[in-house]
Chains A and B, each alone.
Chain A
Amino acid sequence: MIVLGFFLTAPMGIGYMEHKVLAHMQHRLGPMEAGGFHGWAQLVADGVKFIQKEDIIPKAADSWVFTLAPAVVMVPYIAIFAVIPFGRTLWAENLDIGIFYVLAITAISVIGILMAGWASANKFSLIGALRAAAQLIAYELPLILASVAVVMQAGTLSLVGISEAQHHYWYIFTQPVGFFIFIVASLAELTRPPFDMPIADSEIIFGAYTEYTGLKFAFFLLAEYGGIVAFSAIASVLFLGGYQGIPVIGHLIPGFFWMSGKVGALAFFIIWLRATYPRLREDQLQRFAWVALIPLALADIMVTGVVKVLVK
């Protein structure tokens, strides 16, 4: 329950962090008035605003599919949080096949995006949805292949088991290539800059979400931030030791705070990239996945396998 509660609030925290971090990186401070210090209450104000907005469903839209789409995008990210360990005993469910389950469930949200784009009956929405689908399929492969190398090294699919296996050292030191591939592929899965062609505002307005207003749109935003938390959490477990602290002082601080700190740091990194890199072009993006990341990930798996057999 604690874990669930944390993950229902964390996306909002990340959303707030995005506002503020970007504001300071770009020297445009934005709303600083609400609530006093640094406009902390702006998030509440935004929430109230979203609730008040008119809920518009376009006339040509398929209203059922249109209405269901935000939920289909959102639910997978909530379902992931059930298996992510936040401490040696702090998890909702320790599935044998934890990481495999997580990767499978994240693949569902693309169906929601396709539903949203198609049901809007708007060509920009449809192009955005198709771009998102092509991108998510292309980058799911490197994501899974990068995780496979970690699973091979840990010898288990369970997320708790993988965290435990990193008791002596984190896998970022043995799998730096895997970490790089995983982070890049996560960015693309989240359609975050520099991989945000599906919502490229200069070309297709806001992609699949163009026609959405009010709470439904807020759902998509929450799903995006929930996705950042989810992928940061998975990357923390796979490569940064999850709830394992650093040596010497590791035992002084409970695992929950280690894990939260790592998730926060990775989320900050993801937001940082948005302020740093320009958007890729659609063909560059596809080429990067198929020509660079996937062969690299396959080579990573091969090397991991050979080393594992040799060390044994």
Chain B
Amino acid sequence: MTRLTRRSFTALAGASLGAIATAPLARPALAQAKPKLVVIGGGPGGGTLARYVQKDAAGAIEVTLVEPATQFTTCFFSNIYVGGYRTFESITHGYDKVKREGVNVIHEAAASIDRARREVVLSGGRRLAYDRLAVAPGIDIKFDSVPGYSEQAAEVMPHAWKPGAQTRLLTAKLNALKDGDQIVMVAPPNPYRCPPGPYERVSMFAHVLKAKGFKNARIVVIDPKPAFSKQKLFMQGWEKHYPGMIEWQDPKMHGGLKSVDAATNTVKTDLAEYKAALVNVIPAQMAGRIARDSGLANASGFCPIDSASMKSTIDANVFVVGDASIAGDMPKSAFSANSQAKVAAMTIRGELTNARTFPARYANTCWSLIETDDDIFVGGTYEPGDGKIKQVTSIISQDNEPADLRKRNYAASVDWYTGIVVDIFG
């Protein structure tokens, strides 16, 4: 191992600082003009980022948030809505407070990004100049990753993995089921938004059917993965609360998904064919269109970032946060996006106003409800390391915990939801 003296360390640090100083970073065009930040996407990543820059820069940066929806329904806690524990309105939020805080919110879609001119082109043709751009479009569904599936098929076999009308459609179909009806879920391959989400959703399906007193309900999960998040805890919970109702199949058990057919509500695997009253297809995913069309994604379909800043490794004037980014060991979750946005917001202020910056640090916790008052979590803390965002600590709920602890977990998750939506939407 090479021994580093203090002198050689200083030299290395000097070289590194020199490299940063000569990077082609855009500066505000006019010395007098306020630097401009444009944020694309008003979800957990984009909303948090816009608000934190607006709040901490105290007017020194002009912040514009581009989000077509005037009301944003959160994907997190949408399973809790499916399970009947919350109303749709309670997971839907507006931007009035974000606007009152001084962020310029434009309810229009971002059509394209002209990275050479540092401009965002809106769907109506208007161009927004930026000194820094943050891209937080979330995921797009890869409809063609499931043979037979399409945007049209999703009207019959909802994915409900982007919140809104799809979530309501899935819930309506669930609530219309009769005893003896079968549900089939096609689970997604990695990486995807909310790793425990499909299994919490299965739990919520089972909860609704059990609460109706159904004795002959059956839920089959066709999974392309050999294992999934919090698997042991979910399976223990399913056995405890819904014995015999849920059948999870890994690839060895189903032999591979062959196709789905929306006309007949049929799912074919290598080994069987299922005709179901409700089919929930959750396909593979990729970064939202605007990130891919702008050349910010790599061959994986997601966007590489610098782990110390959430800055795109493709364009030094662009940051990518949330589900669209390749965030190393961090799962794609609202909590992760919110955490990443704070690191990006700090870095952007450092670059545009010379504000002090500190080493990046990230955190995440994902709670999942299995049955009323039986809630489990998995979480971690993260820092830059080994060329990625690396997990440094982890926690997970334990087997057979006392019921009161699981009940407190759920109460904590509800409090977390209350807190994070204020962090995002004001």
| A and B associate | no
Residues of A within 8 A of B (CB): none
